[in-house]
């Protein structure tokens, strides 16, 4: 199997640390390794390095290579511009189909936390075997929900399809977008619903066929990119054709329409490091402390806080449920419950023309 780490996003919800020119996957948020290094090491524990690829934007290429010096140069799939995950997955499918249409490929986020590495390995190996049995299907990994999370999508399972090496594989009835709280509580109490981590495993020619069937507006650009890949006449043609593909997410372009989808339920100790609030919760669980600090900080009587300082001393007294993040040019201070509103703050910066801070 070929594993592709999706590393083209900018991670705006972790602003001001994550910026358009230095996104969150390149930061050390969980350990002394960056998120992309942690993801690479996780995959390298059971895949050869030559089978691991990075899909990223050209502007992140130099820094990403610095983080992953052992990855071969030819294992980078470089997006000319950021156009969402629909074009990214289409390009990846064309990339592998040009080499071998029967290639089995898995795509994985660069910014997730997974505590149970052996369970992750088992689920991915099972997914690869499932594709060998059902090459016309897409396989995804569904995560057993631990709380009624309204910030995540869900997968509703249907019938048991097959058991491989003791692992059950189900057909998928439907994908459900982020629910309200009462609906999320209902999902958690039902065995049928899983969190959607957007890990997809597929055969290259199958995914191209699905784009052809469900997203015909992608057809000509994909075909032209595939021809360019085969001929080696890459950069200009790919940039031109990539720009023609609609900037839509893969989930809505393909996954919500396709019928032949299988899901493997798994308990991976998974967390999406999607916001400062979620990062605080992950680190609080890992450390057993609800005060998470990094850098030059001193505090008294603080509760349930995340404080990321740099060289300048940050002193705090009596804070509760507060996030403080210091960078070279911005200090963010917000209530933890409002961490999801950082996207609104980004929009306000754009409206006011303060693009230097993005």
Spans of all domains in the chain: 2-272, 276-357
Which pLDDT score is estimated for 164?
96
Strands 322-326 and 305-308: parallel
Instruction: Encode pLDDT of 279-330 as tens digits.
Output: 998 899 888 999 999 999 999 999 999 999 988 999 999 999 999 999 999 9
Which pLDDT score is estimated for 13?
87
Start-end of H helices in the chain: 35-44, 61-67, 85-99, 117-133, 181-188, 204-214, 219-231, 235-242, 250, 276-287, 342-351
Residue ranges for the chain with pLDDT beneath 50: none
Instruction: Output the six-digit token pair for 295.
Output: 């850098």
Q: Sign of the C-alpha dihedral, residues 77, 61, 353, 344?
A: positive
Q: Are 265 and 194 in contact (CB under 8 A)?
A: yes
Burial of 116 (0-12, 13-18, 19+ CB in 10 A): middle
Burial of 79 (0-12, 13-18, 19+ CB in 10 A): buried
Specify the CATH number of the domain 2-272.
3.90.550.10
Q: Are 228 and 241 in contact (CB under 8 A)?
A: yes
Residue 206 sits at the vertex; the CA angle it makes with 204 and 209, to the nearest 5 degrees, is: 115
Instruction: Encode pLDDT of 152-204 as tens digits.
Output: 889 999 999 999 999 999 999 999 888 888 888 888 888 899 999 999 999 99
Q: Which of helix, strand or coil describes residue 47?
A: coil
CA distance 243 to 221: 9
CA distance 283 to 290: 8
Which pLDDT score is estimated for 233?
61
Q: Are 197 and 141 in contact (CB under 8 A)?
A: yes
| Mean pLDDT estimate for the chain | 92
CA distance 81 to 60: 11
């Amino acid at each position: 199997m070929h594993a592709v780490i999706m590393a083209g996003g900018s991670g705006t919800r972790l602003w001001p640390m994550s910026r358009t020119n230095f996104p969150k996957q390149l930061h050390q948020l969980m350990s002394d390794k960056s998120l992309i290094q942690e993801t690479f090491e996780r995959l390298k524990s059971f895949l050869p390095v030559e089978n691991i690829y990075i899909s990223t934007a050209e502007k992140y290429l130099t820094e990403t290579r610095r983080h992953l010096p052992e990855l071969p140069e030819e294992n980078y799939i470089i997006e000319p511009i950021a156009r969402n995950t629909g074009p990214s997955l289409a390009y990846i499918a064309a990339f592998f189909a040009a080499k071998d249409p029967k290639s089995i490929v898995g795509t994985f986020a660069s910014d997730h936390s997974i505590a149970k590495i052996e369970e992750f390995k088992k689920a991915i190996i099972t997914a690869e075997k499932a594709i060998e049995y059902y090459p016309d299907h897409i396989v995804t990994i569904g995560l057993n929900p631990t709380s009624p999370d309204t910030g995540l999508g869900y997968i509703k399972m249907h019938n048991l399809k097959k058991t491989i090496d003791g692992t059950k594989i189900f057909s998928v009835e439907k994908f459900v977008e982020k629910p309200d709280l009462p609906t999320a509580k209902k999902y958690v109490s039902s065995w049928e619903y899983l969190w959607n981590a957007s890990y997809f495993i597929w055969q290259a020619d199958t995914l191209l066929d699905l784009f052809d069937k469900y997203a015909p507006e992608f057809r000509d650009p994909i075909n032209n990119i595939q021809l360019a890949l085969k001929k080696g006449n890459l950069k200009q043609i790919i940039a031109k054709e990539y720009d023609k593909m609609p900037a839509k997410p893969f989930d809505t372009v393909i996954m919500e329409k396709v019928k032949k989808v299988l899901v493997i339920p798994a308990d991976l100790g998974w967390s999406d490091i999607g916001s400062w609030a979620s990062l605080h919760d992950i680190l609080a669980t890992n450390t057993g402390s609800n005060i998470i600090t990094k850098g030059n900080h001193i505090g008294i009587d603080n509760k349930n806080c995340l404080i990321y300082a740099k060289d300048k001393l940050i002193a705090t007294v009596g804070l509760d449920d507060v996030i403080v993040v210091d960078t070279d040019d911005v200090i963010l201070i917000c209530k933890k419950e409002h961490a999801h509103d950082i996207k609104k703050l980004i929009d306000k910066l754009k409206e006011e023309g303060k693009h230097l801070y993005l």
